[in-house]
């Protein structure tokens, strides 16, 4: 399996990627996680990425491509993967295609998870994370059992990331419309794109994705 999930922030790409990762023994390539690890490490590239993320801007194509290339060329890297959050621009898609050609790999299909804007904003602004163990929560859909106390490590620092604030989220969605939406047309022209209704319950979206993957393999 070599698939790509695209869609606006909050569309549920990460949730679906984790489910598919377990079902198909594939590796989830979550660029959000890659970027956060780089910023937490305080590397030069990580600090550059943070300056963009804190403002709700997309990280530059050059920086993202360097990080992805590094991941794909690691010794023993899996031949079965799910791209989650990359590419975000046509330039990134073209560079990723060149990388796959270089490594003699083929992309099976691209799945667009389409979600209505109000639901996207609710999903993102409600996100919370345990600062100690990084366990994810949502104030409406998945709150901790005890307020501000992590269910897993017992920590008392459940916080909202800077890039999940309403102001930043609104800007992120505007950036998505301007820079990422053209990906839909790009992959449509390559006959790789499949569009799914991401407003449906998680289980229904998963079923539809699995059916598409089985058809494409």
Instruction: Tell me which residues are annotated as active site.
Output: 13, 88, 127, 161, 172
User: CB–CB of 124/164 below 8 Å?
Assistant: yes
Between strands 136-138 and 27-30, the pairing is: unpaired
| C-alpha span between 16 and 136 (Å, rounded) | 15
Strand order in the sheet with 109-114: 27-30, 81-84, 2-6, 109-114, 193-197
C-beta of residue 151 within 8 angstroms of C-beta of residue 144: yes
Residues sharing a CB contact under 8 Å with residue 176, sequence separation 6 or more, in sequence order: 8, 9, 88
Give the 3-state secondary structure percentages of the chain, helix then strand then coil, rounded to 5: 50, 15, 35
State how far the Cα of 161 lies from the Cα of 196, in Å rounded to an integer.
28
Contact predicate 86/96, CB 8 Å: yes
Bridge partners (DSSP) listed for residue 175 = none
């Amino acid at each position: 399996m070599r698939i790509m999930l695209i869609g606006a922030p909050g569309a549920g790409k990460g949730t679906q990627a984790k489910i598919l990762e377990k079902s198909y023994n594939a590796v989830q390539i979550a660029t959000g996680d890659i970027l956060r690890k780089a910023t937490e490490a305080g590397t030069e590239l990580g600090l550059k990425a943070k300056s963009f993320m804190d403002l709700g801007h997309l990280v530059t194509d050059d920086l993202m491509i360097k990080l992805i290339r590094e991941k794909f060329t690691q010794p023993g890297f899996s031949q079965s993967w799910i791209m989650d959050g990359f590419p975000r621009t046509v330039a990134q898609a073209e560079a990723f295609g060149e990388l796959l050609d270089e490594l003699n790999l083929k992309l099976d299909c691209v799945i667009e998870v389409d979600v209505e804007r109000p639901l996207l904003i609710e999903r993102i602004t409600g996100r919370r994370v345990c600062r100690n163990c990084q366990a994810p929560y949502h104030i409406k859909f998945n709150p901790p059992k005890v307020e501000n106390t992590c269910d897993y490590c017992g920590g008392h620092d459940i916080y909202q990331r800077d890039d999940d604030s309403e102001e930043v989220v609104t800007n992120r969605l505007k950036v998505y419309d301007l820079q990422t939406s053209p990906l839909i047309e790009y992959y449509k022209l390559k006959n790789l794109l499949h569009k799914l209704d991401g407003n449906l319950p998680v289980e229904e979206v998963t079923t539809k994705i699995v059916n598409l993957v089985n058809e494409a393999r």
